[in-house]
């Protein structure tokens, strides 16, 4: 059978795709919390910085961001006398993380804002500090609300990793293109690749579902 010969190189590509997804999703989650909370901050500087970040990365295309970081940033570095040439893996993770983080920030902001006002008032009445209110009252209630959209964003991010093949990173999409150049057997290869991405997305969605239940477990305990 022809197609069995494609499995090995494609699985190697899958592994790179998985690594990229994991790293950039973690980076994205950190940025999402940072910028999401930053947008709610009372400090005008932090707020302006967060809003700018969110608008720029949500308002432009991921591929533009990726190309900018890969082709333009090193030139900017030259101009200001810094070496800003990074390895394609770093550029890929950075672009994906920055992009998904901006979308995630809006989710974080929405979920934190959706916590009823009375919860904050009650916390204040009970003499909680601002930090305590955030960590013990707001986030435990906001986090379960964030999880379903985060699950969608994680799958979105997995799909977006395919674009890093365009800066010559050896992910699944890149391996597929290589194999196609070698064998011209596009139907078999791309069908296999589509199902591999589909499989990875289903696994990722299931994992995010587990995480969702874990984060919201206190709700079930209460009943």
Partner 1 sequence: MLFGIEWDTSTSWAFAWSILPILLRGMVVTIQASLLGFFVALGLGLLLASLKGVPLKIIAWPAAFITEFLRDTPLLIQLFFLYYVLPDYGIVLPAFLTGALALGVQYSAYTAEVYRAGIQAVPRGQKEAARALNLSERLAFIHVILPQAVVRIVPAMGNYLVSIMKDVPVLSVVTVLEMLNVAKIIGDRTFNYLIPLTMVGALYLLLTLIASWGVRVLDTRLPKRGIPLK
Nearer to partner 1, 143 or 166 (CB): 166
Query: Which bin fits 153, alpha (ψ -120 to 50), beta or left (φ > 0)?
Result: alpha
Residue with tokens 């902001």: 109
Q: Give, as ranges, the residues between 160 and 179 that touch partner 1 (CB under 8 A).
A: 160-163, 165-166, 173, 176-177
List Cα–Cα distances, 213 to 85, 156, 207, 219, in angstroms.
41, 20, 10, 10
Give CA–CA dist 172/196, Å, rounded. 9
State which residue, 88 or 140, has the beta carbon closest to partner 1: 88
Q: Does 113 bind partner 1 (CB under 8 A)?
A: no
Distances 193 to 172, 201, 209 between C-alpha atoms, Å: 7, 12, 24
Nearer to partner 1, 131 or 181 (CB): 181
**Least distance in angstroms from the C-beta of 196 to partner 1:** 9
Residue 85 engages partner 1 in binding (rule: CB under 8 A) = no
Tokens of 20: 């990229």
Out of 7, 11, 26, 76, name the contact with partner 1 by CB under 8 A: 76
By CB under 8 A, residue 180 contacts partner 1: yes
| Least gap, CB of 37 to partner 1 (angstroms) | 23
Angle between helix 4-39 and 186-215 (nearest 10): 40
10 Å Cβ neighbour count for 155?
18
Q: How far is the CB of 118 from partner 1 (least distance, A)?
A: 27
- Chain-centre distance for alpha carbon 197: 16
Residues in contact with partner 1, shown as a per-residue x/- string from 44 to 73 under the rule CB under 8 A: -----------xx-xxxxxxxx-xx--xx-
Binding site for partner 1 (CB under 8 A): 55-56, 58-65, 67-68, 71-72, 75-76, 79, 155, 159-163, 165-166, 173, 176-177, 180, 186-187, 190-191, 193-194, 197-198, 201-202, 205
């Amino acid at each position: 059978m022809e197609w069995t010969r494609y499995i090995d190189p494609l699985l190697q590509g899958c592994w790179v795709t998985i690594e990229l997804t994991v790293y950039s999703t973690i980076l994205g989650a950190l940025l999402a919390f940072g910028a999401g909370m930053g947008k709610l901050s009372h400090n005008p500087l932090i707020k302006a910085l967060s809003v700018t970040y969110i608008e720029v990365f949500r308002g432009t295309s991921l591929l533009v961001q990726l190309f900018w970081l890969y082709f333009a940033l090193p030139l900017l570095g030259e101009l200001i006398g810094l070496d800003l040439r990074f390895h394609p893996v770093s550029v890929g993770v950075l672009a994906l993380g920055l992009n998904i983080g901006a979308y995630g920030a809006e989710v974080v902001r929405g979920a934190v804002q959706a916590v009823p006002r009375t919860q904050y008032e009650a916390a204040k009445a009970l003499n909680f500090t601002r930090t305590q209110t955030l960590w013990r009252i707001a986030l435990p209630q906001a986090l379960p609300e964030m999880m379903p959209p985060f699950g969608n964003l994680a799958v979105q991010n997995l799909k977006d990793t395919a674009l890093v093949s365009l800066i010559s990173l050896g992910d699944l999409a890149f391996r597929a293109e290589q194999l196609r150049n070698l064998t011209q057997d596009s139907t078999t290869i791309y069908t296999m690749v589509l199902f591999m991405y589909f499989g990875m997305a289903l696994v990722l969605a299931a994992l995010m579902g587990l995480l969702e239940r874990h984060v919201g477990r206190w709700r079930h305990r209460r009943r």
